Structure 1
């Protein structure tokens, strides 16, 4: 019962962050929904089924699960947002360690993303 509650909590948090991503530019939606479906599969099968049946996000989740595939449009959008994040962190006041960390980390994430199959 405790593990089921833990998985449902993770799924709920991820779903909430995904919902915020629909409203807030720069906050991704799909990665949080992938986590919500993953956690739901372990403790909330009804939520997982609902996410998989979703008209817009269901195909993205299934493509990721089945083929580890990401649409090209999503790759371009994510890469553009990561680049804009790097530019903004250098233009706005921020700790130097954060500037360097993001400048090194986000290109690695983009490289990883572009090595995934396309759906």
Structure 2
């Protein structure tokens, strides 16, 4: 079972790292998933993620308080607005645009109702 958690953790870590340069792929949720998986399979990788100088604070804020920083909330909001603007510019069909807008609004509601640090 540890091997499955380890593989899932590696996949989540790779997706999180891919999200750094790709604006529509989230980084922190995948890193949180990787942290969860590594806690069950690799104490060394779990500790590395939790103490990482860049990503560790966001992971610890979420684990300890369920909190998201104001900066991360603003960045997520700008990214979501940007993706909607791009979709409009690409003439995405109205049905797909409506589904995208509705889903992203729910994401923003979730993000902005979490405590801030």
Please point out which of 54, 58, 61 is paired with 1:60.
Answer: 58
**Structure 1 match to 2:42:** 44
User: What's the Cα RMSD here?
Assistant: 1.4
| Deviation of the 1:81 alpha carbon | 0.7
List per-residue Cα deviations over 1:33-81 (Å, max 9, x = no partner). Answer: 1111011111222111110111111111111000001000100000111
In structure 2, what is the Cα distance between the partners aligned to 1:33 and 1:76?
19
In structure 2, what is the Cα distance between the partners aligned to 1:55 and 1:61?
11
5+ long unaligned stretches in structure 1: none
- Using the size of structure 2 for normalisation, the TM-score is 0.91
Residue 102 of structure 1 pairs with residue 114 of structure 2? no
Question: After TM superposition, what 4+ stretches of structure 1 lie above 4 angstroms from structure 2?
Answer: none
- Using the size of structure 1 for normalisation, the TM-score is 0.90
| Deviation of the 1:86 alpha carbon | 1.4
Alignment CA distance shift 1:5-1:103 (3 Å): same
Please point out which of 73, 76, 83 is paired with 2:74.
Answer: 76
In structure 2, what is the Cα distance between the partners aligned to 1:93 and 1:5?
44
In structure 2, what is the Cα distance between the partners aligned to 1:88 and 1:22?
19
In structure 2, what is the Cα distance between the partners aligned to 1:52 and 1:33?
10
In structure 1, what is the Cα distance between the partners aligned to 2:87 and 2:27?
22
Q: Residue 23 of structure 2 contacts residue 79 of structure 2 at CA under 8 Å; is this kept in 1? A: no
| Deviation of the 1:100 alpha carbon | 1.4
- Secondary structure in structure 2 of the residue aligned to 1:38: helix
